[in-house]
């Protein structure tokens, strides 16, 4: 039996949906449902209580992009039936719903397209590249590069992302997005691996693993719209963001090993 929840709500952040490929591909049917049913339910709630509503969309709506860097008016290049589609198409359909509720019901919407974000408090088994490489390097394990490592990503530190999100929510009703929030500094995956090994002083070897199907070749946000409409741009560059993230995982792993030692005793 389900019970209704009665809440005073004036702002809704719809952040639901796992974002790491290994997690969202674990149960792809639920992934699409989370984005599509979740958006419908939250939009219905926003309509009823007249709340502003923000959707955490993604750079994945651009798929494996033919336009580089990606601007918000690019429609993308997404495979509708591949292993990433549950996430990409789910998020694309959610954007459609947001804009239809805006056109049809005059809802106050905010759609942000988030580019690869990282930082402290990621789960060690998150599965995305930054946490994988840091944990592998700290444990002296092999660093797993998928493909030849020439594919690129642009990594945004979590605090910058949150600042962009809060500014978007606080913006005037005419600002609906979609709006790219990311750090335009672009790196190859091989550069990222080399940098992390060097920063940690790790003994890890780089090993190659197969490139996942439909893995985007390149990704870099054009953030002109965020600068113009939100006065936002990222402040934390990769070196500094990685330093803080490495410190976080170092502490976590040393606490884990203390706990394991105590458990043995
Ligand atoms: N909804 C909800 N909480 C609310 C209001 C609506 O979960 O407070 C759900 C509702 O169950 C519906 C969906 O949001 O399935 C969309 O609501 P809307 O009013 O837009 O659609 P309608 O019910 O008119 O089809
Ligand atoms: N990747 C990698 N090794 C890993 C995890 C990821 O080489 O252990 C690659 C992945 O193939 C992709 C890039 O790093 O090209 C970013 O992957 P991630 O899963 O972090 O995010 P995506 O941008 O693909 O959603």
Does 65 sit in the ligand 2 pocket, CB within 6 Å?
no
For the chain, the first-to-last Cα distance in angstroms comes to 46
DSSP assigned state of 212: P
Does 128 sit in the ligand 2 pocket, CB within 6 Å?
yes
CB 208 within 8 A of CB 168: no
- Which residue has the least CA distance to atom 18 on ligand 2? 128
Domains contained in the chain, CATH given: 11-260 (3.40.50.720)
**Three-state DSSP class for 13?**
strand
Name residue, tokens 């946000």: 221
The string of pLDDT tens digits covering residues 86-116 is: 999 999 999 999 999 999 999 999 999 999 9
Cα dihedral value 118, 124, 129, 133, nearest 10: 110
The string of pLDDT tens digits covering residues 37-71 is: 999 999 999 999 999 999 999 999 999 999 999 99
DSSP assigned state of 135: H
Minimal CA–CA distance to 215: which of 161, 148, 169? 148
* CA–centroid distance, residue 43 to ligand 2 (Å): 31
Does 189 sit in the ligand 2 pocket, CB within 6 Å?
yes
Mean pLDDT along residues 155-166: 98
Does 91 sit in the ligand 2 pocket, CB within 6 Å?
no
Nearest atom in ligand 2 to the alpha carbon of residue 22 is 19
Residue 259: the pLDDT is 75
CB 69 within 8 A of CB 13: no
Residue 33: half-sphere exposure toward Cβ, Cα within 13 Å: 4
Mean pLDDT along residues 125-131: 97
Band (pLDDT 50/70/90 cuts) for residue 265 is: low
The string of pLDDT tens digits covering residues 177-213 is: 999 999 999 999 999 999 999 999 999 999 999 999 9
Which positions are catalytic?
87
* CA–centroid distance, residue 85 to ligand 1 (Å): 26
* CA–centroid distance, residue 72 to ligand 2 (Å): 23
- Which residue has the least CA distance to atom 25 on ligand 1? 44
* CA–centroid distance, residue 93 to ligand 1 (Å): 17
């Amino acid at each position: 039996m389900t019970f209704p929840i009665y809440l005073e709500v004036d702002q809704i952040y719809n952040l639901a949906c796992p974002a790491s490929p290994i997690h969202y591909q674990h149960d792809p049917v639920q992934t699409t449902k989370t984005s599509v049913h979740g958006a419908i339910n939250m939009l219905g709630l926003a309509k009823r209580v007249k709340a502003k509503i923000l959707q955490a969309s993604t750079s994945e709506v651009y798929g494996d992009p033919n336009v580089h860097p990606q601007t918000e008016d690019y429609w993308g290049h997404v495979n509708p039936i591949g292993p990433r589609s549950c996430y990409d198409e789910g998020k694309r359909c959610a954007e459609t719903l947001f804009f239809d509720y805006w056109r049809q019901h005059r809802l106050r919407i905010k759609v942000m397209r988030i580019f690869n974000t990282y930082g402290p408090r990621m789960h060690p088994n998150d599965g995305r590249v930054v946490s994988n490489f840091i944990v592998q390097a700290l444990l002296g394990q092999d660093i797993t590069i998928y493909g030849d490592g020439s594919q690129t990503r642009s990594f945004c530190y979590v605090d910058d992302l949150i600042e962009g999100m809060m500014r978007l929510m606080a913006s005037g009703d005419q600002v609906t997005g979609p709006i790219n929030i990311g750090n335009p500094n672009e790196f190859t995956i091989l550069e990222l691996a080399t940098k992390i090994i060097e920063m940690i002083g790790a003994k890890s070897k780089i090993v190659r693993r197969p490139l996942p199907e439909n893995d985007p070749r390149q990704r870099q946000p054009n953030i002109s719209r965020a600068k113009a409409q939100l006065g936002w741009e990222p402040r934390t560059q990769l070196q500094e963001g990685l330093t803080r993230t490495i410190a976080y995982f170092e502490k976590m792993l040393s606490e884990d090993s203390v706990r394991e030692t105590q458990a043995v005793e």
